[in-house]
Amino acid sequence: MVKKTPHWLKPEQKKRLFELTRKFKQARILVVGDFILDHFVWGTVERISPEAPVPVVNVKRESYMPGGSLNVAHNIRTLGGTVYPSGVVGRDIAGRMLLKTMRQQGIDTGGIIYDRKRPTSLKTRVIAHSQQVVRFDREKTEPISREDTRALLAFYGKKIKSADVLIIEDYGKGVIQTELVHAVVTTARRLKKPILVDPKEHHFDYYRGVTSLTPNRKEAYGAYRQLVAGATGRESLETVGFGLLKKLQSESMLITLGEDGMALFQKNGKVNVIPTAAQEVFDVSGAGDTVIATFALALAAGAKLLEAALIANLAAGIVVGKLGTASVNSEELAAAIRSA
């Protein structure tokens, strides 16, 4: 039975959410995934090129942000938690810039694995008048080497015992593959650590037995078609959510639904549809990162699954109102809870 959560929260619910968010500063989250440097070119457009029907961007400034799994780490830091990210970068200018942005934002750099044969993943977005004009990616998406995998697992082994929650952040850039996932999930389950996954559509079969996955609607339907024989893509959201739970033997599935909010499916048969908390939407870049970061922090603080989903929904409502890959801070989240 689908249960729609009200747009508003009761006073006792707000009190509980405040109690949980105040414990974020005690949370320790280990993140394994693809490191990306987000490069933004900001400018204005006043004319069309005489050479081709494309806008001419008059560049005003440039900025860099840690992206991919590092945007998850950034969100955890801005919300007060401690984070240990691990991933691979190249011995190049983008890699040095990525290290600089991590240090500037207080993100632990001990999990960086350098690979001379691999470029740092770089996404460049050109933005004019609050609109993204074009994006171009420079990257290598083949699986990382066995040497890199062993180095990541060595760092993971040092940190997992002290971590409260493990996040696997899969951007499809080569870090997340079966050997790595099997090793980290096996260890985390043995230590009874919650395992959250922001999945790539074609890798869902890697994630059997994790605690929770946070796909968007497109990823969830795509995975259902891959994993369930005879699936057509016209199934109900409830069929897809519970079908994936059964196939992957997970405790829950938090499917983000864009302007429709999100839906939480639990293996006990409960499903809650949570309406969006967004007031206005400028950019959905990185919203999924904010969701899984906040969801993990809430679980580390002792939240039940629905409580964690409510907090994650409020955080997502904030971040989509910002331009570019963005994060949420504690003050913004507190204000969102008060006004919910």
Instruction: Tell me which residues are annotated as active site.
Output: 289
Of all helices (H) and strands (E), which one includes residue 48? Answer: strand 35-48
Q: Based on the number of CB atoms within 10 Å of its own CB, is 277 exposed (0-12), middle (13-18) or buried (19 or more)?
A: buried
**Distance of alpha carbon 239 from alpha carbon 228, whole angstroms:** 11
Torsion angles phi and psi, residue 79, rounded to 5: -95, 5
- Residue whose token pair is 């016209």: 234
Residue whose pair of structure tokens reads 């609050």 in the numeric block: 130
d(CA 324, CA 283): 6
Are the beta carbons of 297 and 289 closer than 8 angstroms?
no
149 alpha carbon, distance to own chain's centre: 21
Torsional sign, CA 305, 205, 223, 68:
positive
